[in-house]
Chains A and B, each alone.
Chain A
């Protein structure tokens, strides 16, 4: 094996592992490690409007949900 081919293998494996780790870590932060609720963080609770989740992962033809409503605090 040439030096270039060996380096290529190492780089591919490193990027694969780094992307996997990042995907898992980011998911963990988002699901297993929730941030403070908006009111605890000092947000104006009255400004938060309860809307359904964004069509993220929704299967069926999505109901008419405004774009960008995955994050309740932004759906004002």
Chain B
């Protein structure tokens, strides 16, 4: 069995485990319980709440960045699943009182103020989860600061879990079943334990062994490469080229201390250094140039599946990169160079202006080297007078010219600004390129 087959089987088992955990309480009450004394619709509403609460508890596991969870899928897919299941859980939980009210005609459940405290807790949890999902979906559009949202998101998640737990244990009519009682306790412990580990224990462990910034090099006018090394006597984590890691810089000097994820732009062939190339693109990254050698950083990883190393059956490749989206490609190219991998690589690299091109000289050197067999096309939106590369943005015409010759046999790796990625992925899909030959990495988690 190959590594890929093993990963697929492991991923399938994790999905089955998730489904089994969600279905277990619903199936259990269906099998064990007899009549409920309520209508069919009322009972469906209760059952949906059982599945919905289980999903809410499992959200904590999905968002905890466990490597054993993300390994077969990639962290971006796990987060996408987390977001999708949040919507499904919300649908189930909103349906819960509605179906109960419709089924037994107890509309007071929705509007009556004179109800038990446990019903009120359920109502508060319902409002919180609705606000939670809407806030998360429209955070960027509403212009809410990410760090502020993250703190609110964590606090609201705990509140929803605890309120829904107390509500269900007190108002729920099926909790005389020992299985369900213990299942609920297990879900609560799992969720709170996971939160405690990822928010308290893991940061504490990381703080005990901080990495050290060894170098900070300017790549362009707004992009820096920060090289990090683990403490003496400790080996850095193994990784594949194209993967990313989480870093918390602890620089002092009143500089912000936030957790962010960045691609590891160095090659795995580096023995002790793990470097990230970071563009000034937000409040935090605007300070990245103020990082100094000797500063501390908490580093953990690797994460992600955006690497040719996860697809050993692929031969020649096409890389389409936009702006700082070049970093995972650069890690893969450096790895190919260092290991003598002579496969043919077509790199289409788009930027706004010449001064934005990251790794320009190194790419040029690689082009003239033997491994990999690299062909680079630079494309600029705002070229200077006399620019000899491509001009404009990746559109139908330029993709036809640059990418079509490789449609039949090569795999495509795409990373860059969302509009560019959407355009390229849609173009590939419209030309029936099999999904297994398309790999994309979005930096937003």
Supposing A1-B429, A3-B438, A19-B26 touch, asked if A35 and B19 sit within 8 A by C-beta, the answer is no
**What is the distance, in angstroms, from A47's C-beta to the closest C-beta of chain B?**
16
Q: Which residues of A contact B116 (CB under 8 A)?
A: 55, 58-62
Supposing A60-B116, A62-B116 touch, asked if A23 and B44 sit within 8 A by C-beta, the answer is yes
Q: Out of B34, B43, B425, which one reaches A35, CB within 8 Å?
A: B34
The reply to whether A27 and B115 contact each other, CB–CB distance below 8 Å, is no
Q: Out of B35, B48, B100, which one reaches A57, CB within 8 Å?
A: B100
B126 within 8 A of A: no
Contact string, B420-442, partner A, CB cutoff 8 A, digits 1/0? Answer: 00000100010000011011100
Alpha-carbon distance A71/B42, docked complex (angstroms): 17
The reply to whether B305 and A4 contact each other, CB–CB distance below 8 Å, is yes
B176 within 8 A of A: yes
Please report the total number of B residues contacting A with Cβ < 8 Å. 62
In the complex, what residue of chain B is closest to A12 when comparing beta carbons?
A: B84
The contact size tier of chain A is: 35 or more
Alpha-carbon distance A1/B15, docked complex (angstroms): 21
The reply to whether B440 and A2 contact each other, CB–CB distance below 8 Å, is yes
B175 within 8 A of A: yes
Q: Which residues of A contact B30 (CB under 8 A)?
A: 22, 25-27, 29-30
Supposing A22-B26, A62-B116 touch, asked if A69 and B81 sit within 8 A by C-beta, the answer is no
Supposing A2-B439, A12-B81, A55-B171 touch, asked if A23 and B47 sit within 8 A by C-beta, the answer is yes
The reply to whether B26 and A56 contact each other, CB–CB distance below 8 Å, is no
Query: Which of the segments B102-110, B377-385, B390-398 contacts the partner chain?
Result: B102-110
**What is the distance, in angstroms, from A45's C-beta to the closest C-beta of chain B?**
15
Q: Which residues of B contact A31 (CB under 8 A)?
A: 35-36, 38-40, 43
**What is the distance, in angstroms, from B187's C-beta to the closest C-beta of chain A?**
15
The reply to whether B173 and A56 contact each other, CB–CB distance below 8 Å, is yes
A34 within 8 A of B: yes
In the complex, what residue of chain B is closest to A68 when comparing beta carbons?
A: B176
The reply to whether B39 and A16 contact each other, CB–CB distance below 8 Å, is no
The reply to whether A30 and B92 contact each other, CB–CB distance below 8 Å, is no
**What is the distance, in angstroms, from A56's C-beta to the closest C-beta of chain B?**
2
B201 within 8 A of A: no
Contact string, A50-70, partner B, CB cutoff 8 A, digits 1/0? Answer: 000111111111100001111
Q: Which residues of A contact B39 (CB under 8 A)?
A: 31
Q: Out of B27, B41, B47, B173, which one reaches A53, CB within 8 Å?
A: B173
Supposing A27-B47, A70-B36 touch, asked if A3 and B435 sit within 8 A by C-beta, the answer is yes
Alpha-carbon distance A8/B76, docked complex (angstroms): 11
**What is the distance, in angstroms, from A69's C-beta to the closest C-beta of chain B?**
7
The reply to whether A27 and B44 contact each other, CB–CB distance below 8 Å, is yes
The reply to whether B29 and A1 contact each other, CB–CB distance below 8 Å, is no
The reply to whether A56 and B38 contact each other, CB–CB distance below 8 Å, is yes
In the complex, what residue of chain B is closest to A11 when comparing beta carbons?
A: B15
B301 within 8 A of A: no
**What is the distance, in angstroms, from B105's C-beta to the closest C-beta of chain A?**
12
Q: Out of A18, A30, A69, which one reaches B43, CB within 8 Å?
A: A30
Nearest first, the 3 closest Cβ-Cβ pairs linking A and B are A56-B173, A26-B30, A68-B176
* A interface residues with partner B (beta carbon < 8 Å): 1-6, 8, 11-12, 14-16, 18-20, 22-32, 34-35, 53-62, 67-71, 74
What are 19 pairs between A and B in contact, CB < 8 Å?
Answer: A1-B429, A1-B438, A8-B80, A16-B88, A19-B23, A19-B88, A20-B48, A23-B48, A23-B50, A23-B51, A26-B31, A27-B44, A28-B40, A31-B43, A54-B173, A56-B172, A56-B173, A57-B42, A71-B176
